[in-house]
Chain A
Amino acid sequence: MAPALCAICKTARALIKRPKNHTKLCKSCFITIFEDEVHHTITSSQLFYPGEKVAIGASGGKDSTVLASVLKTLNERHGYGLELVLLSIDEGIRGYRDDSLETVKKNAAQYDMPLLVVGYDELYGWTMDQVVETIGKKGNCTYCGVFRRQALDRGAKMLGIRHVVTGHNADDVAETVLMNLLRGDLSRLSRSTSIVTGDNKSEVKRSKPLKYSYEKEIVLYAHHKKLEYFSTECIYSPEAFRGSARTLIKQLERVRPSAILDIVRSGEDMARLVPGESASSCGGCKSKTETPVAVLEDDVGGCGSSNGRTPGGEMAAMDKQLRENEEAEGLEVDITKLVLEGKNGQREKRDKPTTRQVLGKCQRCGYMSSQDICQACTLLEGLNKNRPQIQI
């Protein structure tokens, strides 16, 4: 079989077949177009302003490594004027982060960016090792996920940085859309599909510049640019990727590669239909909405990454736990809810998601939460009650 030539330069041998449109590209044209598309996402969503200090949530994994590399490249090429720093979270699992932090340190040196590492112990008073000592290995992924969800924001706040970018990719977003559909949680759809979470009122804004980038292309970008990244499973989550929505996404991609971006766009379209939610834009510029902004509490982070990836079994366990928390908190008097129910009892069910959307702050930690006490503080309360006597 004669080697195919690149569809753009028509001279070099094609090495990449793009999942979204089957275009065959050579290495250098692929790298250029990948960067150009991220640049397009950034400019069309007006993600940054000149002089902005931006923390890149860095786990040493492929997504954040590629994000750091691409942002550095684009910042220099297009004169964004960004002050980029790497922000890493240390969950406090002995041996687990050592190697990945080494990778982040190498990235920091290579990209000439300052590296800031913040530990769960500093943020919550507990390392994951201590959590596991206290509650056992069962269900610890719930804690890790809930803590991780706030960790970057809390860490950034501690360091006086107001914008955190994460490496969430199109596959991550598609997975979250599917999970929310499966759970019938349309209110969360907007948060999971929007490119920016947090608004002017929030202390820390979050965004995902790789939202439209296929995971496959991210891995190929890292491979062809010879970027060093780290991949391992969380030692507390040996069953990591079994039976997850992820598997379904990858199987769909195998049959019809465009499925991933189609799910992302469907999620955005559905999010627009949910009352009181603003939806996301772009993705090939099919819409001209203003900078998409949605409120808080992004997807729940899974294990083994700083990404919002959640393995199957843990997903179910976490979901159960979170629902129990919500139910428990529902026993407390929620004035907003009472008013809504009083006005129109029949619409209670439909109004419920909107009620949960009401933006407030956690009474304990001040982190944005739709409940009086945020999930992290709820979990911490339980943990602190069980803290071994010796440590008190």
Chain B
Amino acid sequence: MADSTEVPIRESETPTISIAVDFYGGLHTLFGKGQHKLAIPAADKSGNPATIGFLVTHLCETKMNDPRTELFVLDGHIRPGILVLINEADWELEGEEAYEIQSGDNIVFVSTLHGG
């Protein structure tokens, strides 16, 4: 491809996986918009496969444009009251933070913390 030279070398060194991440229930305000198509590193710095736990940290570091991280993460974990769905299934059925993300996965974060 003609424009292949424009791809930064780092990208080719670190394999990525493509996923869709959606934010609902007010969380979209922390991340600029509701729907994100992302290419995330397939592994963390220690070479372990990318998990939901890794994704949460990654999102905080790269996608959050609001200083109030505690609205999303509390004590290093997703804030209680925020639901996580992995391909529509409750993450409690999928191993929660330990779930290893697959290419094409749809991860949804829904806050229940807003008024009704």
Chain A interface (Cβ within 8 Å of chain B)?
1, 3-4, 13-17, 24, 27, 59, 61-64, 167-169, 171-172, 215-216, 218-220, 223-224, 231-233, 241-242, 246-247, 250-251, 253-254, 302-307, 309
Other-chain contact of B115, A251, A254, A305 (Cβ < 8 Å): A305
A216 close to B112 (CB less than 8 A): yes
Other-chain contact of A307, B29, B112, B116 (Cβ < 8 Å): B116
- Whether B104 sits at the interface, judged by CB under 8 Å, is no
A169 to B113, CA, bound (A): 12
A223 close to B24 (CB less than 8 A): yes
CB of B13, distance to nearest CB on chain A (Å): 30
Q: A250-B80, A306-B115 are known; give 9 further A-B pairs, CB within 8 A.
A: A62-B25, A62-B112, A218-B116, A219-B110, A219-B112, A220-B83, A253-B81, A304-B114, A306-B116
CB of B101, distance to nearest CB on chain A (Å): 14
Within residues 59 to 83 of chain B, which ones have a CB less than 8 A from any CB in chain A? 70-71, 79-81, 83
* A61 cross-chain contacts in B, Cβ below 8 A: 114-116
A62-B25, A219-B83 known; A4+B114 contact, CB < 8 A? no
Give B74-116 as 1s and 0s: 1 = Cβ < 8 Å from A's Cβ atoms. 0000011101010011101111000000000000101111111
B94 close to A1 (CB less than 8 A): yes
- Whether B26 sits at the interface, judged by CB under 8 Å, is yes
Count of chain B residues with a beta carbon within 8 Å of a chain A beta carbon = 26
Other-chain contact of A305, B83, B85, B88, B116 (Cβ < 8 Å): B116
A27 to B90, CA, bound (A): 11
A223 close to B85 (CB less than 8 A): yes
B115 close to A304 (CB less than 8 A): yes
B93 close to A4 (CB less than 8 A): yes
Nearest A-chain residue to B27, judged by Cβ: A231
A167 close to B83 (CB less than 8 A): no
Cross-chain pairs A/B with CB under 8 angstroms, 13 sampled: A3-B89, A15-B89, A59-B115, A168-B116, A215-B112, A220-B90, A231-B111, A232-B29, A233-B26, A250-B113, A305-B114, A306-B116, A307-B115
B93 close to A15 (CB less than 8 A): yes
